[in-house]
Each structure stands twice: as structure tokens, then as C-alpha cells.
Structure 1
Amino acid sequence: MASIRRREKRDGTATFQVRWLEGGRGGSWETEIFGDEDSAADFKKLVEAHGNKWPYGWVKGKGFVEPDDDPDDPPLLEFAARYIDRLTGIDDRTREDYHREVRNRFTHLEHVRADGRVYPATVGNITPGDVMDWVRREESGLRDPDDPERWLRRPADPKSIRNRHGLLFCIMQAAVDGEPQLRSRNPCKGTRLPRVDNHTVEEMTFLEKDEYQRIAAEMKDPAARDLTDWLVGTGMRWGEATALQVRDVSLSGEVPTVNVQRAWKRAPKGVKPAYYLGPPKTKKGRRVVALSPAQADMVRRWVKGQPPEAFLFRPEGGGAWHHGNFYNRKWKPAVAAAVEKGLLKRPRIHDLRHTHVAWLIAARIPLPAIQARLGHESIQTTVDRYGHLVRDLDNEIAAAVEAAMGVPAPRAGLRAVG
């Protein structure tokens, strides 16, 4: 926090000194002097709003001084907006999300010169140190100096920081690769980012089979119960399962299957309807999922007498399931009732997907097969998210190591007798 000190002069007038630790605790003391208390108070708020650092473009003793405009060095935010507008292969919702990240999170990316002066970020002036400072501010967030209980910018979790840094990396690389070239090097290369496993980003809940049955027993709506059984029995995402249509089902082969080829997508803000059908989350999200005999029987009930375009799972009255309605009217009451009767977990709908994986791993299904069933683009995603569950083979691994180490190594000088 900055402070204001009143200093009396011999002529009876006073000056007002704003004093603060640059960057907070551990930084050096910085000061700026004003002739009136109101100006000092305004500057104090600016310093605190910038994380106890000199405000953008402020030169000590002079005030705000704009750097010379360079037409070949555009402001970072303008360049980032143009880059996002030109991206191909993304849907409108993703483009809107990228623009929101730039508006909300890139605005506190700034350039600090060697003399400590701070300037707004441009494509050319950002340094690796500036990027590291930005990452640190993302981690720590920013509280309201007038209300310490209120966040002006909440701390970001490690996964979000990595995603935003990745977007910034691509933007800066476009400046390196562009014609004309606006930079010679990407300042995001080599940034040390927070480890995702240092924090709990998403606490997954895994249900034992009897725990799931306690929730399922509270599902009084047969249609909701079938959808819940399907989610935990296939590991599909909500948006994939509820987008399945009768034409996606194949029951004539030796192994009944469903073809996952579409999913519900959120439309850009203000666009109606709010959701539309599009491709799955990843390229490998387009997949064929094998069904158990019980699942095949369930499907036969739901496809009977329905046209090809009908949704496979439908609430009473037809149409498609809406996540909010299902959660509030079906899932949440069932979980609450199970908890009241002794269930010690409070899972989300998405935890049914995690539970499905846990059951497969317990049955010793290899991770590559699980990757294909879930539609993960990379096996690394499967390993990172669920690898810690692969514990059933611990005894076999230990036994294999013991057997290998238990064989005496041949000693030098000995010959076989033949």
C-alpha cells in the first residue's frame, strides 16, 4: 500500500509525497511529490491499481509522457485483436473467448524500461522479463486498494495461466513470422510457468459402484436415470451424449455401437439459440463407442418408433435435454437425497466421466484404449489426468523387479562348463 506524507515548507505551504515499495514487500522505496493533496491521493490510487508500480507512461517529476509513436510497432492489444480476427479453423465462440482473454488479461501486460519507467505494451517493446512479470501478476491477482476484501482481478489458476500464455505466444510468434517482420524473437520462449499439479484446479470425484447406485436409486424419472446410466457407462461428455441421434446407432453388427460425431456448442454471447450442434471437442472426439448388452437393450427402447433425426435421449415431452434443467431438477436433488442418506461425496455430472475411467482402470483396461474411448486428442491428456489411478499393477511391478534383481549377476572370470 502507498502512503502520503505532508511536508511543511518554510514559507508555510506544503508538499505531499506519495511513498511506496515498488512491486510490494521486498521492493525499493519510490516517491513522487505533488503540490496539493488531491493530486497526491489520485496518484496513490493509480500506484496501487498498478500493483504498487509506476503507472503506465508516467515519468517521475513530469507526469504522463507518451512515448514517441512508431507506426511499425503497433500496440499489443490492437495487434492481438487483428490476429484473432484472422484466425481460421475456430468457431465463433472460441474467437469470442480469445478476444475476452485479451481484453481482461492482456491489459496489465506492460513494458518496464531499464530505468524503471513503465509503458503500455507494444508488439516490439515486450521483453521476456515483462512476460515473466505478467505471469506473476496473473498468479497473485490484484485487490481493490479501497476494499481489501474485494478483488479487482482474481488470481488465475496454473492451467488458465498456461492457456493465456499459449495465446500470447502464438500472437508474438505471428509478429516474428509476419511480413514485414515486427520482432526478431518471441519473448514468450523460455517463460517459466506455474506447474498445473502445484494446485488443485479441478477436484475430480470418483464413485465406487455402490456409491453411484445410491445416487441412481434417487433418480425417480426413468428417462433421467437412463441418461445417467449412459454417462457413467460410456464416459461420454454431457454435450456428446445428449447430442446423439437415432441415426448414430448401429445394432446390427456383432458388437452394437454408437457413432459420436456431434456435440452441443455454446453460441457467442447474445446469439440465439444459446447452443447449437457442432463437431466434438477434438478431432479424435469423432469416434465409435462399443456398447454392452445392457446398453444395447436401453438403446433399442429409445430408438423404437423414432425418426432418424430424433435425439436418442429425450426428456418427457421430447426434444433435447438441457444441462441446467437436468442438473437442477434431476441430478442435484438425487445427489442431495443420497447425501442425506449417508453418501459421503457430492459429485458433479462430469464426475460420471471420471468415474467411468476409474472403473476401466480398475478392470486393467490399458490407457491407450481408454484414450480412444474418451476421445482424448493425446495419450498425454489421459496419462496426466488419470495416470495416478493405475495402481492395481503395483504388486505385479514389484514382483517383476524382485525377480529381475533376484537373479545373481555373472561374475567376471567364470566360464560356462560344456
Structure 2
Amino acid sequence: MASMVERPQKSGAITFQVKWRQDGQWETEKFGGEDPDEGRAQAEQFKRLVEAHGNRWPHGWVPGQGFVEAPAVPGDVPLVDYGLRYVRRLNGVDPRTKDDYERDVRMHFAKIVHTDVRGREVPATICNLIQEDVDDWVRYMHAGERDPEDPEKWLRPKADPKSIRNRHGLLYCVVQAAIDATPQLRTKNCCTKTQLPRADDHIKEEMTFLERDEYLRIAEEIKDPDARLLADWLVGTGMRWGEATALQVQDLALNADIPTANVQRAWKRAPRGSKTSFYLGPPKTKKGRRMVALTPTQVAVLRRVTAGQPPGAYVFRTPTGRYWRHGNFYNRKWVPAVEAAIEKGLPKRPRMHDLRHTHVAWLIGKRIPLPAIQARLGHESIQTTVDRYGHLVRELDAEIITALEDVMSAPAPVSHLTRVV
């Protein structure tokens, strides 16, 4: 804690000294003037600043001078403008993703403000942004903003931890671009030390895993055989919706020694304002291009539904012969089936994407290694697989306990220093 000492001078004036220990050494700063009350107030305010900074010199404070504004950096621009410029220059990103990035910059970067050395909030620029500003922004997103006129309503609802991490990751890249720019606009990335909310900062599990009988209770409520076929495929292969519904007859190798489905395309959301809502593009990740091994039952079903179809025909089709649209399947097939199953006692309310999670849970239950699951799902990194599903790997607990018991209960070896008489 800092302390403040009043020191009368021979001239009759009074100075106020703020004193504290920083890194094992005493630091001091003096305040005074013609008005003792003003000097005392300045000293008390500075003391609070020192304590707020963890008993360290406040950021931007120059001993003996006070707060000194940093000179303007040539080329500095508002943060939102620089963020938009960065996003628009990205290569290898599909148009809809760019649209989403631009929306995040406009909606969320616009809420970032810079608090200057005097405690005033000013517009954030790519050069004046500091770590404290980023921390304030993250706290704002995590807490949300209530309507001051109606506390029961939200002006901006709380953001979930995953969304906060995604937005922060985009900000990190934008700031790093300013560091790598020519001429260089920054020398340090102010996002590197941000404490982000935990991805599992919630009570309810985000993913729902279905037991086999639970899935069957839902599947039995899907009366449309074409829709039931697609649901069985999603849970039986772990494919993403956009991958499964983009599968074509030419992607199937049903006569191979190990029959497979070749995932090489997926439905993508078109940019806003386009004439179409979706278009065919590459899978979500590079490793999303993969061969998915099929069971004999799946092969038999595929032979039946693809018989006589041309190579470019979609494997899974609506009763009218068109490819399935997510909203159509979700609203007319999936939701009614889940609601009907819940009315009959199903204790869970799974999303369609939970069929992919359920597929993984079933594989882990049969002791399939996580690297093999990573390849089957098309995860770019094994870390993604471990982070999402590692907590399900419980099947080896008995073997682990037995191994530890054998080691811990074995008699201690005789030391080679023991004298034999």
C-alpha cells in the first residue's frame, strides 16, 4: 500500500509526499503549491492511482511531470477503419466469412475505447490501443449491457465465451498486422496477455451426447423415410451437415475393399446480398477433405438409394428430388421429432449438430483412439479433438487403476547397498 506524508517547508509552504515500495525499492512523488488543499487532493488521487496499478508508477506518468501524452503516430487511423482494411485484404477466406469478420469489426470493435493517461475515454485507434483497453472490452462483452431505463432488458446481451474468444482472436490478428506493416505502426501486441473467459464457463454442457436408445426414440418420430435416412447418416458417420448434404453419387466407392465416402465439398453460406443463399465450396478445413469408411449396413442403404442415379446426383434428397436445406430439415423434421420424443419421456433436447458429437461418444465408448477420430471428423488439429471430447475417454479407467495398484502395491526392491550376511 502507498502512504502519504505531509511535509511542512521552511518557507511555510506544505508539500505532500506519496511513498510506496516497487520491486523492493522505495519510490516517491511530491505534490504541493500555493493551495495546500489542491496539493493534498492531487497527492490522494495519485496515491489511489499507484495502488490501482499494483503499487507501480501509473502508465504514462513521468516522475516530476505527471501524465504526458504520447505523440501521435504517423499513419494512425481509427481501429474500426484499420480492422476493415485488414479483413478486406485477407486471402484464402470465403466471402461469407469475410462478411462475418466485417460485421464483427463494425459491431464489436466499435465498442472498444481507449482510456488516456488522464482517465478520459477517447476513440480507439490502431496505435493508441493498450492492454487495459482490451481487458475492459472483454469484460464488457462478458458482462453485457443492460438497458438503464429497464434493467430487465438488454441493450447488448452477454456474449458466450466462444464468441468472445473468436472476436479477441480477430483483434489480435488486426493488431499484429499493424506490427508487421511497413512502415511499422506498433511494436507490441496488446492482446497477448488478455485473460479470456473459460470456454467451459457454464453449468450446462454445451454438447449433448445421446445413448443409442435415446437416438432411436428420436429417429422413430421422423416419419419421412428420406429424412430418417439422412439423420441415420449424420449420427453414423459424424459428418457435418454441410458435408453430408453435399455428398454426390460420384463420391462413393462402394466396391472398394473398405467402402468409403469421399468428403470433398460442403455447402457454404453465400455473402449477404447474393442471389443465392448457399453455394458449394471446400470443406471447413484442409483436413476436412477425407475418406470416411462405411459399414456394410450403410453400403447396402447407399446402393439402394443411388441405384440408377447419375454421378452428380446428391446422395440424400428430399421427396421432390432436391438436396436438403438445413432450415427445411430442422423445422419440419428434426424439431417435431425431438419434441415428440420429449413428450414421451426423452430427458434431453439435442441439436442436429449433436448427432456429430454423439457419433464421437459412441466411438470413444468402443475405445477408438482420438487420433483416428480426428481423422474421421476432419479436425485440423488433434488438440481440437482432445479439447472437445477428451473428457469422454473413461473406458480405460479400470485398466489405469489396475496398473497403478500393481505398481504401488508391489514389494519394494532390495537396495543394492543392503549387506548380505
Alignment TM-score > 0.5, same fold: yes
Segments of structure 2 that go 5 or more residues without pairing to the other structure are 1-47, 49-69
Which range moved further: 245-254 or 207-216?
207-216
CA distance 1:68–1:392, change in 2 (3 Å): closer
- C-alpha distance in 2 between matches for 1:307 and 1:151: 53
* Residue 182 (structure 2) pairs with residue 179 (structure 1): yes
**Identity level (%):** 64
Instruction: For residues 24-63 of structure 1, give each alpha carbon's deviation from its aligned partner in whole angstroms, at most 9, with x where no partner exists.
Output: xxxx9xxxxxxxxxxxxxxxxxxxxxxxxxxxxxxxxxxx
Cα distance, 1:364 vs structure 2: 0.7
- C-alpha distance in 2 between matches for 1:191 and 1:241: 38
Cα distance, 1:357 vs structure 2: 0.8
- C-alpha distance in 1 between matches for 2:224 and 2:344: 19
Question: Aligned residue for 2:291?
Answer: 288
* Residue 114 (structure 2) pairs with residue 118 (structure 1): no
Contact 1:157 1:201 in 2 (8 A): no
Segments of structure 1 that go 5 or more residues without pairing to the other structure are 1-27, 29-66
Question: Aligned residue for 2:163?
Answer: 160
- C-alpha distance in 2 between matches for 1:115 and 1:95: 37
- Aligned residues between the structures: 352
- C-alpha distance in 1 between matches for 2:72 and 2:229: 63
CA distance 1:279–1:307, change in 2 (3 Å): same
Name the SS for the 1:336 alignment partner.
helix
Cα distance, 1:242 vs structure 2: 0.5
CA distance 1:416–1:393, change in 2 (3 Å): farther
Question: Aligned residue for 1:401?
Answer: 404
- C-alpha distance in 1 between matches for 2:416 and 2:360: 53
1:365 to 368, 378, 397: 368
- C-alpha distance in 1 between matches for 2:212 and 2:331: 23
Cα distance, 1:346 vs structure 2: 1.8
Question: Aligned residue for 1:107?
Answer: 110
Cα distance, 1:391 vs structure 2: 1.0
2:390 to 387, 391, 399: 387
* Residue 200 (structure 2) pairs with residue 197 (structure 1): yes
Which range moved further: 258-267 or 401-410?
401-410
Letter aligned with residue 275 of structure 1 = F
- C-alpha distance in 1 between matches for 2:419 and 2:71: 84
Q: Kindly report which structure 2 residues correspond to 1:240-319, keeping only aligned pairs within 5 A, or say none.
A: 240-319=243-322
Question: Aligned residue for 2:133?
Answer: 130
Contact 1:206 1:355 in 2 (8 A): yes
CA-based RMSD: 1.9
* Residue 342 (structure 2) pairs with residue 343 (structure 1): no
Letter aligned with residue 101 of structure 1 = D
Cα distance, 1:221 vs structure 2: 1.3
Contact 2:238 2:356 in 1 (8 A): yes
Contact 1:143 1:152 in 2 (8 A): yes
- C-alpha distance in 1 between matches for 2:254 and 2:322: 23
Question: Aligned residue for 2:67?
Answer: none
Cα distance, 1:161 vs structure 2: 1.0
- C-alpha distance in 2 between matches for 1:284 and 1:201: 30
Contact 2:73 2:185 in 1 (8 A): no
Name the SS for the 2:255 alignment partner.
coil
In the superposition, the TM-score normalised over structure 1's length comes to: 0.81
- C-alpha distance in 2 between matches for 1:168 and 1:201: 29
Q: Whose Rg is larger?
A: 2
In the superposition, the TM-score normalised over structure 2's length comes to: 0.80
Cα distance, 1:390 vs structure 2: 0.9
Instruction: For residues 330-370 of structure 1, give each alpha carbon's deviation from its aligned partner in whole angstroms, at most 9, with x where no partner exists.
Output: 11222222222222222111111111111111111111111
